[in-house]
Structure formats: structure tokens, C-alpha cells
């Protein structure tokens, strides 16, 4: 079952595609659903994508495809699908997405997370739903998790994490590191995956989660 806002959004996207052939912008979706910010649109889009009602088309701005409509499914769909069966279409194995490269990230002591203008081509099959970016790993503190110096970490954007997940943690709004995330009472503990390194412990207000590890790329 979809929530009311999810249902309103997919109907709005489907109507706009039927009228213009172009999916609406996030600003237009925000206004149409009377939301306060575009972050609410991102959450609705991700929820619809996870439920396989829509999908994002790689390498194209404002590219959303309605896979099926709620309730009676394809009988309500006004945009023709490439084929009538199956309705759920996985991304082609050779699809490539250009992820923004946000510089280097420490797998050791924290270093500055740099904003870059370059991109990294990534097979779409490596990524799940949601927005992603890439970081080049610097250091060896996560080698026991299979993350090596020079690897490219594929990060799904999020501001929350569960204990034990590998996250990009921004410390004091200036430095970033890739570590296992744990709550340690009122503090946050960032654990390495290398016996040579010690855990880093910070006050909760010093640490902000920027994303969770979704995959790795390695060049030989």
C-alpha cells in the first residue's frame, strides 16, 4: 500500500509524462504536493523506487520512468512500457551511471573531504535505489573489511545509520572518514577494520553521517 503522498506523487509524475514526455522537476513536485522542502520529494521518490513503481534512468537529468501504477497497475498507466511483461524491468547490465567524485576520504585518521568536479563511471547494477556519490579511499585502516588504499567507495547518501554499518562520517563539519559506526552511550565510536588502529570516539554533536557504503570499485 502506498501512502497518500506517494500516491499523489506517482500520479503527478505519470500525468506530466503523458502530457510532455518529460518528468517534472523536484521543485515542481514539491510545489504540487505542497511539501516544505525537496528533501521530502527525495524520500518519496526513493520509497516509490524501492517498491518498484518508478525507476531513475541513468545519465539523464530529470529522468524518471513509471513502471506501474498502484491498484490496477498497468491499466492506469498512460505511458507505454517497452513491453507488457514483465512490468518490473531491472536496469540493463551494461548501463553506466556517472557518479560525482567528492575527492578522497581517509581510511585512517580523518582528512578533509574535498568537493570535486569529476565523475566516476559506475555500472548501474552495483547501485541500489537512492542518490549516490563516489570517494577515493586513502589509508589502510579498513583493510580487514576489504577496503584498500586507492579503492573507490560508492556511497549512498543518508543522514542516519545503524550500529555496525560502514559510513562516511563528517567530524566537526570539516573532516571526513570511512569507518564502522557505533553508538557508545552519549558518544559516537568510529571503529577501524585494522588491528593497528584504535577507535575514534567523539561527542554525538561532533559527528554527522553523510552516507553509507554501498559498494567498492578497484582498478588494477
For the domain that residue 100 is a member of, what is the CATH number? Answer: 2.10.109.10
Mean pLDDT of 71-85: 38
Tell me which of 26-40, 45-59, 130-144 is least confident: 45-59
Distance CA 159, CA 168 (A): 10
204 in a domain, yes or no?
yes
Query: For residues 35 and 46, what is the distance between their CA atoms, to the nearest angstrom?
Result: 16
In 30-139, DSSP assigns E strands to 54-56, 64-66, 96-106, 111-112, 119-123, 132-138
Name the one residue in this structure whose C-alpha cell is 573489511: 145
Helix (H) or strand (E) holding 183: strand 175-184
Is residue 2 within 8 Å of 70, Cβ to Cβ?
Answer: yes
Closest CA to 214 of 106, 110, 99: 99
pLDDT at 75 over 60: no
What is the SS3 assignment for 107?
coil
82, pLDDT greater than 50: no
Output the domain CATH number for residue 51.
1.10.10.10
Could you tell me if residue 88 is inside a domain? no
Q: Are 122 and 170 contained in the same domain?
A: yes
Residues 110 and 207 in one domain: yes
Q: pLDDT grade, residue 131 (50/70/90)?
A: confident
Q: Using alpha carbons only, what angle is made at residue 204 by residues 203 and 210, rounded to the nearest 5 degrees?
A: 125
* Residue that finishes a domain, picked among 43, 75, 107: 75
**What pLDDT score was predicted for residue 120?**
83
* 145-197 residue pLDDT tens: 999 988 999 999 899 999 999 999 988 877 889 999 999 889 999 999 999 88
- pLDDT tens-digit readout, 5-34: 888 888 888 888 888 778 888 888 888 888
- Out of 75, 105, 134, pick the residue that ends a domain: 75
**Is 91 inside any structural domain?**
no
Q: Which residues contact 121 (CB under 8 A, 6 or more apart)?
A: 96, 97, 98, 99
Please tell me the distance from the alpha carbon of residue 85 to that of residue 161, in angstroms, as a whole number: 37
Q: Which three cell numbers stand for residue 1?
A: 500500500
Q: Which three cell numbers stand for residue 146?
A: 576489504
In percent, how much of the chain has pLDDT > 90? 22
Higher pLDDT: 26 or 144? It is 144
Q: What is the pLDDT of residue 87?
A: 31
Q: Cis peptide before 86, with omega less than 30 degrees from 0?
A: yes
Catalytic residues, by residue number, are: 141, 179
* Residues 16, 132: Cα–Cα separation, whole Å: 26
Domain total of the chain: 2
Instruction: Find the domain containing 116 and state its range.
Output: 96-217
82 lies in some domain = no
Note whether 54 and 137 are same-domain residues: no
My answer on whether 142 and 204 are in the same domain is: yes
Is 197 a domain residue? yes
| Mean pLDDT calculated for residue range 41-53 | 82
Read off the pTM.
0.55
Per-residue pLDDT, 59:
55
> Pairing mode, if any, of strands 207-217 and 96-106?
unpaired
Amino acid at each position: 500500500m502506498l501512502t497518500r503522498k506517494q500516491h499523489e506523487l506517482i500520479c503527478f509524475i505519470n500525468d506530466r509524462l503523458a502530457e510532455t514526455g518529460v518528468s517534472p522537476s523536484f521543485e515542481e513536485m514539491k510545489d504540487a504536493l505542497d511539501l516544505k522542502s525537496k528533501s521530502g520529494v527525495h524520500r518519496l521518490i526513493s520509497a516509490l523506487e524501492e517498491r518498484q513503481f518508478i525507476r531513475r534512468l541513468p545519465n539523464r537529468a530529470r529522468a524518471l520512468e513509471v513502471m506501474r501504477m498502484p491498484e490496477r497497475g498497468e491499466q492506469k498507466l498512460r505511458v507505454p512500457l517497452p513491453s507488457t511483461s514483465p512490468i518490473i524491468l531491472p536496469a540493463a547490465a551494461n548501463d553506466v551511471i556517472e557518479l560525482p567524485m567528492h575527492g578522497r576520504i581517509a581510511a585512517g585518521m580523518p582528512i578533509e573531504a574535498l568537493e570535486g568536479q569529476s565523475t566516476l563511471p559506475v555500472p548501474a547494477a552495483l547501485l541500489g535505489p537512492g542518490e549516490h556519490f563516489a570517494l577515493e579511499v586513502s589509508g589502510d585502516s579498513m583493510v580487514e573489511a576489504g577496503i584498500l588504499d586507492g579503492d573507490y567507495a560508492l556511497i549512498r547518501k543518508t543522514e542516519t545509520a545503524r550500529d555496525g554499518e560502514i559510513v562516511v562520517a563528517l567530524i566537526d563539519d570539516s573532516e571526513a572518514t570511512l569507518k564502522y559506526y557505533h553508538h557508545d552511550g552519549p558518544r559516537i565510536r568510529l571503529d577501524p577494520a585494522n588491528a593497528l588502529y584504535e577507535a575514534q570516539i567523539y561527542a554525538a554533536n561532533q559527528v554527522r553521517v553523510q552516507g553509507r557504503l554501498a559498494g567498492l570499485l578497484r582498478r588494477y
